[in-house]
Amino acid sequence: MISLVARNTDFVVVDKPAGLNFHSEDSEGLVVLVKQQLAVESLYPVHRLDKMTSGLVVFALNKPTAQQFQTLFAERQIEKFYLAISNHKPKKKQGWVKGDMVAARRGSWMLSKTQTNPAITQFISALIRPSERLFLLKPTTGKTHQLRVMMKSLSAPICGDARYADSEQAKQEDRGYLHAFAIRFELKGQSYEFVCPPKSGQRYLDPLCTALIDTWAKPWPFFKA
């Protein structure tokens, strides 16, 4: 069963498990599973998460609402916040990361110094323990692999990320440590805020880490334009 966070007549918010494909590949993906679970004829994805990423996903339940969400995303009217953990020291502990995403080998991406159509992310971080740091990430844009590439560009690849971190070290992790933590938007004149802490991963569930996550339970005030 996929955990339901919220549902109304226009949309549903779910908590995607880590390691589950968004679309069906070798087995049924998140879209199919949610559609079956809700017993609805139509389900409209308005954004997506990578297989390794857990957390909040919004699906529209009708086409007009899906179109409204598309407009909100295009106009950057939806705020999203992610949690990531790295066991490497970052080049900087907070601030902005901006740069064009350039295709690399085997489906990977890399961050360029150019800014023609840049991926933009703001972030803060806190030390969990020596050599382990928790990051709160707020992407302004929604590029493929944006946060994973951004973390690598900081010399702090995400723990368990087999594509952008050391593949042998990634195999030792119980999951990829990227989680869609919170989302905030206004739809049809009503404001919505959803926050969902991670429910899996030894690093996330460590008491030192959960204590830090609790301090970010309302993430919006930590970021200024």
Provide the annotated active-site residues.
Answer: 50
Main-chain phi, psi angles of 150, to 5 degrees: -60, -45
Q: Is 212 left (phi over 0), alpha (psi -120 to 50) or beta?
A: alpha
Is residue 81 within 8 A of residue 126, CB to CB? The reply is no
Q: Are 195 and 218 in contact (CB under 8 A)?
A: yes
**Burial 177-203, CB ≥16 within 10 A → b, else e:** bbbbbbbbbebeeeeeebbbbbeebeb
Backbone angles phi, psi at 79, to 5 degrees: -95, 130
